[in-house]
Chains A and B, each alone.
Chain A
Amino acid sequence: MRRTLIFGLAAVLAAAGCGVGETPQPEGGASASAGGKVELSFLVFETPNLDAAFWDAAIARASAKVPEVTIKKLVTPNIDRTAYAKQLDAAGNLPDILQSVNPAGFAQAGKLAPFTDAELANFIAPKAGAIGGKVYQLPYNTQVIPVVYYNKDMFAKAGITATPTTYQELLDISKKLKDGGTTPFIVGGGGADTWADMYPLTGTVATDVYKKTPDWLLQRAQGKVKFTDPDFVAAAKKIEDLAKNEYIDPAGLSRSYADTEQAFRDGKGAMYPMGSWFATSADANKPSFEVGAFPWPTDDGSPVTPTFTGGGTLVSATAKNVELAKKWALAFDEDKENNDAFVKADGSIPAIKGYTPPADMGPVYNATVAIYQKGMQDGSIFDAFSQEAGDGALPPGLADKAALGVQDLITGKKNAQQFAEFLDDEYAKATQ
């Protein structure tokens, strides 16, 4: 019986994973699997555009360039890869390599490995998203956020012959459309996709706040400005007024991101303020009407192009082999075929020196790139509110709060002033 007891206890301990005799890995050292390769985990996220086949092919191409590495792909349960990375990190399982996770918080806590200037030599904006002067996420692509995509048929039917260049013209167009029985703006944000309601505000903050004070969010972090300052309140007031005038339909707030895009395709509204990633979706799966694009207009008609540059791959500071992980991350982000695939699947504008998109890109993508290139030419590139990375980023969790606050603006539960006060309160909570 005693032997049974001892055997039982041993079995329980073994099942509990006591791991007697397991050799610990040296810190930062390579864990070599069979064949002398290092296995690194890579966290990706899947969307209708970036599906499993896309990631598998892209991983295979990068791995072919760094044959010492084998990749174990991890997929997030939903599109919110940053929240999932935090959960993994809380359990002590931060993946070795991560795709498009917001580095805010991770970097400051020393959980990410910075890239050197030499490693960033091939990037157009090598210091984009820098935190304390160091870059933790490869600045591999640029997105224009928002671009106002519009239904050319609806514009023509309402007698609108030109796209607006001033905010007043945008309001005039909206009135015309509404008077003709068309909802001017399609804005979503239902289900888990609350973030999808942010883009009109991202536009007004760029035109009313960042144009005057490009480093506004950095100044907010230093306590020099507040959300309740007149410029920010004015930007929020524009959204409040768009909703009050019924140019934005609050019922759209029940639509998920996919449903919102579908609503635009179904002709349930004339304008769709969205990130530039919509461009390839519109080209690849053409709606029954022609899609046009224009930047969010300013009061005086001067150009403002809100963009985000970054969004690439990150490497954990505790990766099994940091140098190999960085080498693989660079191979992944700089690979021409991978970037072509990103351009085709997700409408990205690669920010890599010498890169040119495939020649067969569609008209909506080309119109979007033209907006970006014009912004580069006339020096009107500004940050896109709530999308920022680096020192000038919102504290963790605040972008989600802002998106919920925008829903209150649209439903009339908060006015612009209350929304701004709410953001200041949440900012204080997030940074305490």
Chain B
Amino acid sequence: MTQNRTRGARADAPRALPSPNPARGRARTARRPRKPGRFLPALGRFSLFALPGLLAYTLFVLVPIGMTGYNSLTNLNPFNPPTQFVGLRNYVNLLSDAEFHQALLNTVIITAIITVLANVGGLLIAMLLDRPTKLYVLLRGVFFTPVVLSSVVISVIWQAILTDDGLLNSALRGLGMDEPPGWLSDPDLAIYSIAWIMAWQMLGFCVVVYLAGLQGVPRELNEAASIDGAGPLQRFRNVTWPMLAPALTINVVMLLITGFKAYDQVRVITNGGPGNGTTVTMAFQVVQTAFVSNRIGYSSALAAVMLAIVAFISVVVLRFLQKREVSQ
């Protein structure tokens, strides 16, 4: 019953848009024919507003992407000229590059963890904060604070907490644990520490998006479901969760992108260590290969592959989730 209502409410929306209005139709037909030459000023106005954005987008996005694509087909190393065209050799080398595989795996681990943790945590906290009192409004601000802080600042703070002599281990020692875990020094743990920090930072973003979604759920739907005898879990599953589909889409896509471009936290907290490659992400490897090893051609191939992976996953996930939105 509840689902039907929900579906009904959504199904009405698209029908309302093209509603044929006879009066409007008459107005259109009655409109005077356009004077010759008026199209040009309209185009001019359009260009005036669109051109700066288009120019900036071309200069700062399209041109660099094109240059990266071109560089990826060369052995460009500014410290080892001359640059030669090497075709797809860089891409072929990537297939057998163990460090790239490790970086890809690390990136996937980080992305998966932050997507799940921040979404689950964000939803739970949003449901707790979905109350109209001033205290809860204040708490929303508190949860959002890490989102607006610089990742470097967040990283420095968490480094101080997680380092061997840091706050967390001091507390654990105080509680009687002789050898607390090496959160950042243990090669098996460090990647999870980084993922935790990123999830913590993005939690506030998910909270705000889910809160906006929750506030868009019509109260009558829940009331009707209650009258029909639905308990809290059933109401969540059949009313709230379907209505949160757009919020889920935003959160998942944003977290995927955040996970795939993880760099700042790795740079500040572990510099890719402890050991070779334990916390190296794809973005980190791109920068290191370009600006430490000077292999800009190879680094461009890494960046191109990273772009392709992020674009592919984003499109697939977006389409899947949007399809889910429509079907709810």
Contacts and interface: CB of A to CB of B under 8 A. Distances in A.
A323 interface: no
A106 B79 contact: yes
B92 to A, nearest CB: 14
Contact of B276 (A87, A397, A404, A430): A404
Interface in B237-294: 267-277, 288, 290-294
B273 A194 contact: yes
B272 A255 contact: no
A192 interface: yes
Contact of B187 (A251, A252, A268, A413): A413
Contacts of B274: 189-190, 250, 253-254, 407-408, 411
B165 interface: yes
Interface stretch (B3-11, B51-59, B202-210, B227-235): B51-59
Interface in A82-120: 83, 86-87, 89-90, 105-106, 108-109, 111
Contact of A254 (B45, B185, B267, B294): B185
A404 B294 CA distance: 18
B44 A4 contact: yes
A53 interface: no
Contacts of B271: 191-194, 404
B18 to A, nearest CB: 33
B307 to A, nearest CB: 19
Interface in B8-60: 41, 44-45, 47-48, 51-52, 55, 59
Contacts of B292: 83, 86, 396-397, 400
Contacts of B78: 86, 89-90, 109
B170 interface: no
Main secondary structure of the interface of B (DSSP, over half): loop
B288 A397 contact: yes
B126 to A, nearest CB: 33
Given A4-B44, A189-B273, A251 B80 contact: no
Contacts of A190: 159, 163, 184-185, 270, 273-274
A254 B268 contact: no
Given A106-B79, A255-B165, A408-B276, A396 B185 contact: no
B43 to A, nearest CB: 9
B299 to A, nearest CB: 10
Contacts of B288: 397, 400
A254 B190 CA distance: 10
A405 B48 CA distance: 56
A411 B273 CA distance: 11
Given A1-B44, A90-B296, A109-B80, A259 B165 contact: yes
A337 to B, nearest CB: 34
Interface string A148-183: 000000000000000000000000000000000000
Contacts of A108: 79-80
Contacts of A252: 164, 185
B288 to A, nearest CB: 7
A415 B288 CA distance: 25
B174 interface: no
A83 B293 CA distance: 9
Interface in A256-270: 256, 259, 263, 266, 268
B81 interface: yes
A251 B163 CA distance: 8
Interface string B160-194: 00111110000000000000001111110000000
Contacts of A1: 41, 44-45
Contacts of B183: 254
Secondary structure of the A contact surface, majority rule:
helix
Interface residues of A, number: 51
Interface residues of B, number: 44
A429 interface: yes
A57 to B, nearest CB: 28
A106 B81 CA distance: 11
A321 to B, nearest CB: 23
B162, B166, B182: which has the most chain A beta carbons within 10 Å?
B182
B270 A405 contact: no
Nearest to B51: A12
A255 B163 contact: yes
Interface in A185-199: 189-194
Interface in A411-430: 411, 413-414, 422, 429-430
Contacts of B59: 16
A4 B164 CA distance: 64
A34 interface: no
A357 B270 CA distance: 38
Contacts of A396: 79, 292-294
Contact of A109 (B79, B270, B291): B79
A15 interface: yes
Contacts of A8: 47-48, 51
A253 B294 contact: no
A2 interface: yes
A8 B295 CA distance: 41
B67 to A, nearest CB: 11
Given A396-B293, A411-B187, A191 B270 contact: yes
24 contacts: A5-B48, A8-B47, A12-B55, A90-B291, A105-B80, A106-B79, A191-B268, A194-B273, A249-B164, A250-B182, A250-B186, A250-B274, A252-B164, A253-B184, A253-B185, A254-B183, A255-B164, A256-B163, A259-B165, A263-B165, A396-B294, A404-B272, A407-B276, A413-B187
Q: Give the 6 A-B residue pairs with the shortest CB-CB distance, closest first.
A: A105-B79, A397-B293, A254-B184, A254-B185, A251-B164, A408-B275
